[in-house]
Every structure is written in structure tokens, then in C-alpha cells.
Structure 1
Amino acid sequence: MSLDHTDRRILQVLQKQGRISNAELSEQVNLSASACHRRVQRLETDGYIRNYVALLDARKMNLPATVFVEITLQSQADELLDAFEKAVARIPDVLECHLMAGTADYILKVVAENTDDFARIHRQHLTRLPGVAQMQSSFALRTVFKTTALPV
């Protein structure tokens, strides 16, 4: 399925206002409520809309520290990559894990209460990941810009 202008407008609005009512959404995209509802259902069924979530404030959740961790593995063997990816997915403090091309094999985005909490995460979880040869951590001083909205 290809997206037309109306589909894209629906996606733009829903990315910023996920709890908007169908009536309000239909007004914003100039469709009848029933046509709008059908389009949203189709976008969900076709996988353009994966889920609806609440975005929490990390500071209010007492997790103000963001740490980016570059990890280099001992090898690129499929079994090791699979084992690493399964293990890292089980660490609740890791928000993102990206397989990279470049100097590191993976980059993780980790949240923590402070440096002591990150030391705990590092000691109890990150150092125990399979196949880790080297790790380098960088603390974000301030988040300048952050969005979850994809360009549509």
C-alpha cells in the first residue's frame, strides 16, 4: 500500500497527539469521521502504526542521566551477535541498541539515576554481556533536541 497525502497527514497528527479522538482527527485532516476511522484502521493493519504509547518524562521518573555506550565484540560470528542481542534486550535500563558500521559494533542508549547508578548497571549487566571485548561510555550533558516523530 502506498501512502497518499491524507494518510501522511493522519500519521503526522497521530505522532504528536496519539490520544486525539477520531472526531478531532477527522476535522484536522478534512475527512468524515467514518472515513478517517477506516484509514486509521488500515494504517494499523498494514503496520504503519505499530503501537500507541505514553512517553514518560525521564527526570520525573528519576532517570535523568543518559549514557551512550559503544561496544566492540570479540568477533562478528552470528552466534555471538545473536547471544549479545538477546542478552542486551533483557536489560531494562537499555532503551535502544543499534548494530553499527564503523568503529563500534553496537551503540546502546542507557538511562540511569546518576553516575553511581550507571556504575551499578555497568557492573551488573553490561560487563556480563556475551563477547564484549571493549566498552566506552559517554554521558550526555544536556538533551538539545529529542523527538519520536518520523518525517512523514
Structure 2
Amino acid sequence: MAGRIVVGVDGSEPSLKALKWAAGQAALTGGSLQTVISWEYPASWATLMPGAAPEFDPERLAKQILDESIDQTLTPGEAAAVTRTVVGGNAPQALLDAARGAALLVVGDRGYSGFKAAMLGSVSSHVTQHAPCPVVVVRGGGGD
């Protein structure tokens, strides 16, 4: 089953495992690989970070995290073939939007949300319920 495989990446270990798995699946099926990272300003951005440097750019930071994640996880040949998508907005919706028309959506079991005790993270839980295509949730290791 060739087609576009979308994978969510946030730099967390589970997302890097999902990226590696998705790259292997793309190689097996002849599919293309699209990585997606999202960013958004917190609702209280102005009050939480009044002294933030004016050059702080969350979109640029997200792109840097995505590039570093791809470069450290994939071979140079795999990395060169990846479509890199940086989206302003919340992660679940960014992934659902990217998954329209995709053959598969791949996510890690949890990312940088702070709820380590959860069996599934909020993003993986949401996309498994609402995705327009099949979803694979790549589980972390036993000690995660």
C-alpha cells in the first residue's frame, strides 16, 4: 500500500521512535513521508513572557526541532526525501489536517505534554479517535 505517510514529531523520544518507524514503513511500501510539527503561542503569552526577547520566534524554533529530529533519527538519504511541515496551531488539529488524503498517520504514544503517567498522550488519543485514515501509535520502551 503506497501512499503518503504522515508522522507527528515534537523532538520527544516517543516521536523520534514514531519517525523511525514511519520511515521504515515508507521504505517498505514505497510511500512518501511527511513530518509535521506544530507550534502555538500560549493564551497568556504576553503576561507569562513579558521579558521575552523580541527575536524569539516559536515557528523558527519548531522548524529547528523538526530538522534536528530528522537529522538525528534518519539516514541522510531518508532525511533528504522527507517533506517537512511546520504548522501554527494545536498539534492534534495540525496532524488531522495533514492526514487528509494520507494512507497512514503515525504518532508516538506521548510527547512533551507533562502527563507521563498517561497510557496514551492527549495528542495520540485525540488523533486515534478522529483521523481520516488509519493510525499507528508507536509505543515507547518499557522504562518510559
Where on the TM-score scale, by shorter chain, does this alignment land: which range? under 0.3
Decide which structure has the larger Cα Rg and report it: 1
- TM-score (structure 1 length as normaliser): 0.25
Question: Which structure: greater helix fraction?
Answer: 2
